[in-house]
Amino acid sequence: MAEKIKFGFLLAGGCAGCEMALVDMSEKLLDALGHLDVVFWAPTVADVKYKDLEAMEDGYIDLAFVDGMIRNTENEHTVKVLRQKSKTLVAFGACASLGGIAALGDCHSQEELFSQAYKDTFSTDNPDGIYPQPECTWEGKYDLTLPAFTNRVSTIDQLVEVDYFVGGCPPHHDFIAQLVQAIVSGNLPAKGSWLTSGKAVCDICKRNPADHDQKRLPIGEVFRTVDGRPDEDKCLLQQGYICFGPVTQGDCGASCLNVNIPCRGCGGPIPGVRDYGARCVSTITSSLKDDETAEEFVKKFNDMAKFCYRYSYSAGILNQKLTPGK
């Protein structure tokens, strides 16, 4: 048998859903471990410490996954170390690749986030308006410290060079099994690519009008999911239920569509898209019949930034400077 691939897995600022996705592979994970020598998997490995990671030679790890976004200085540090120690680094899942849901916090100031949580919430009892403090002396004698909150979320590739990107919140465990197989057989695209089938959710979706010899027609009405029950066999977008399937990678097997719920883009942008949210807006609005329908769209979804950038706010170019060549 070929030599095992030295594999590392780091949870940065994510929710551990990507870790659970690997665990959910169950039997397939057993097969995968036949090809992978797990040399680092924090925070869930019994006998490898961060300092062991730091002690490894540069490039010791053949392949490393990072899930979660960069949210604090510790994430920054460990991701940088992992980059140094790994030949190939994969940003694994929507948070690592795009920023994820948590990045929506960047739509607000730190003061807004704190005052909501510690002052304004209905059940909060805070007569002195206290915020958690990085350093405090409690009851005059106990010195206690907390890490300071950082208020900017970033993707892994905004910090270090990333070789491959994987979408999904989390990636589906069946897709992960395919990925592992591709990796083991050395069947990988050029560095900097997304690891994806390259197909959009619509290409996978069994509702696609093209599969039923139907034309796509301009959308004359816009619906939220509470507005009605869509036909379970027809394209949601054609029925007016805003769905991001056309611009999202379909490595999920169109799973949300399978239960009659529209796509919201966790799979990441289809190849060639620089800014997911911008492409969403252009794709959806260009599908609408007329200005009246466009106005209805804006009225029904008036949180357009949080709607279209739901999983990709950090990776978008809103509020960011574009560096030439980047």
**Site residues (CB under 8 A) for other proteins, limited to 60-79:** 68, 72-75, 78
Is residue 52 within 8 Å of 80, Cβ to Cβ?
Answer: no
Is residue 11 within 8 Å of 74, Cβ to Cβ?
Answer: no
Nearest CB to other proteins, comparing residues 143 and 213 = 143
Q: Which stretch binds other proteins (CB under 8 A): 83-91, 130-138, 194-202, 203-211?
A: 130-138
* Residue in 132, 189, 220, 271 binding other proteins, rule: CB under 8 A: 132
Closest of 255, 212, 209 to residue 235, by C-alpha: 209
- Nearest approach, Cβ of residue 32 and other proteins (Å): 9
Residue labelled with tokens 């997911």: 276
Is residue 209 within 8 Å of 215, Cβ to Cβ?
Answer: yes
Nearest CB to other proteins, comparing residues 130 and 182 = 130
Q: Is residue 118 a contact point for other proteins (CB under 8 A)? A: yes
Q: Which parts of 283-302 interact with other proteins (CB under 8 A)?
A: 300-302
Q: Which parts of 179-218 interact with other proteins (CB under 8 A)?
A: none
Q: Is residue 83 a contact point for other proteins (CB under 8 A)? A: no
Q: Both tokens of residue 280?
A: 């969403």
Q: Which stretch binds other proteins (CB under 8 A): 7-15, 184-192, 198-206, 315-323?
A: 7-15
Report the C-alpha gap between 202 and 204 in whole angstroms.
Answer: 5
Backbone angles phi, psi at 90, to 5 degrees: -115, 125
- CA 260 to each of CA 77, 203, 205, 320, 324: distance values in angstroms, whole numbers, following the listed order: 42, 16, 11, 35, 42
- Nearest approach, Cβ of residue 226 and other proteins (Å): 5
Q: Is residue 233 a contact point for other proteins (CB under 8 A)? A: no
Q: Which stretch binds other proteins (CB under 8 A): 81-89, 183-191, 256-264, 281-289?
A: 256-264
Neighbouring C-beta atoms of residue 212, cutoff 10 Å? 11
CA angle 248, 250, 255 (to 5 degrees): 110
* Residue in 5, 6, 8, 19 binding other proteins, rule: CB under 8 A: 19
Q: Which stretch binds other proteins (CB under 8 A): 16-24, 79-87, 191-199, 275-283?
A: 16-24
* Residue in 46, 186, 291, 321 binding other proteins, rule: CB under 8 A: 46
Give the chain's length.
326
